[in-house]
Structure 1
Amino acid sequence: MAGVLRSVIPQLDLRSWKTVDPRLKSLPDHRLILALHQRGLPGLVTCDEEMLELPEVLAVVKQVAFHLVVCTRTGHDAVAATGLLLYNLPHVARRYQARRPQIWRLTARESILEKWSRCWATSRLRMGTD
């Protein structure tokens, strides 16, 4: 998938923890961001919304011009977070500014169950059988 994304958004370089350093996952959030920055990585995609409430995280993000992309309301659902990220990635990439700290809070609206009667009525109107 990374290859497909790179062909659409060439400046994108998504990496898993395994390729960076799995030990980083045990660091406190602000130290994690600093460690990623020191490794030359400009940003982090996470589902940890609580990061945005920590003053020490925000201070480090601002200090090193880091980029956080936070997939909200996905919990530990990797499929939901991936879908949310893929949907929003082109917009985030267009607005990316390398030397400015950026925080993106990605959200999805709730899916609405469509009423069968409404679909049927609309269909009949289109067919002119109402």
Structure 2
Amino acid sequence: MMQLPLEHNFPEPIVNALKPWMGSLELLPIRQIDDRLTELDDRPLLIALRQLGFEGLVTLNYRMLRNPSELAAVIKTGLTVFAIEGVGHDPLRATGALLLDLPSAVNAVEAGATGVFWMRPRTPQPQDPHDLFDEAATRRHEDPDALYASVEVSDAELQTPVLAAS
């Protein structure tokens, strides 16, 4: 079982609730490993985790990947770092971002890859469904107006209960 330490910004109740679905991976808040780890800066934290036998760290401090002192610790310890960028200090977004990319990253680690996984979740923007419809019509080589007329939801259809009592 791979145990992957999480820095202190991840919500423990959510992480603990995920255990039944994590398979051979255990996300382990660093406070549960040793409370003193929460007080360490990144470089000594990386060294301490290696000394304790861990293979990696999940962090929101992606800025460590721009710091030579901390990168030297990553290189020397051989730890795999999963750094999540772009979620601020929002623990819920951080957990979601981690879960989105972690399975493929862990598969890569299990296949022998090591190093840094710099996770940059995107912030989706709304799209106009009319634009999407026009694109779908274009892919089908059809006129958007004609296609819409053939599949349009009528007022009668919209008002007819779909879940009518049977």
TM-score (norm 1): 0.82
In structure 1, the partner of 2:97 is 84
Cα offset, 1:72, TM superposition:
0.6
Alignment of 1:56-67 (within 5 A): 56-67=69-80
Q: State the superposition RMSD in angstroms.
A: 2.6
Given that 2:50 and 2:77 are in contact with CA atoms closer than 8 Å, whether structure 1 keeps it comes out as yes
Rg larger in structure: 2
- Uncovered stretches (5+) of structure 1, i.e. residues with no partner: none
Given that 1:66 and 1:100 are in contact with CA atoms closer than 8 Å, whether structure 2 keeps it comes out as no
- Uncovered stretches (5+) of structure 2, i.e. residues with no partner: 1-17, 137-143, 153-166
Cα offset, 1:53, TM superposition:
1.3
Q: C-alpha distance in 2, partners of 1:35/1:77?
A: 26
Cα offset, 1:109, TM superposition:
2.2
The one-letter code sitting in structure 2 at the alignment partner of 1:92 is A
In structure 2, the partner of 1:5 is 22
Q: Partner of 2:87: helix, strand, or coil?
A: coil
Cα offset, 1:16, TM superposition:
1.0
Work out the number of aligned pairs and report it.
126
In structure 2, the partner of 1:22 is 35
The one-letter code sitting in structure 2 at the alignment partner of 1:42 is E
Cα offset, 1:98, TM superposition:
8.5
In structure 2, the partner of 1:128 is 150
The Cα offsets for residues 52-100 of structure 1, whole Å up to 9 and x where unpaired, read as: 1111111111112111101111111111111111111111011106976
Given that 1:68 and 1:103 are in contact with CA atoms closer than 8 Å, whether structure 2 keeps it comes out as yes
Cα offset, 1:18, TM superposition:
2.6
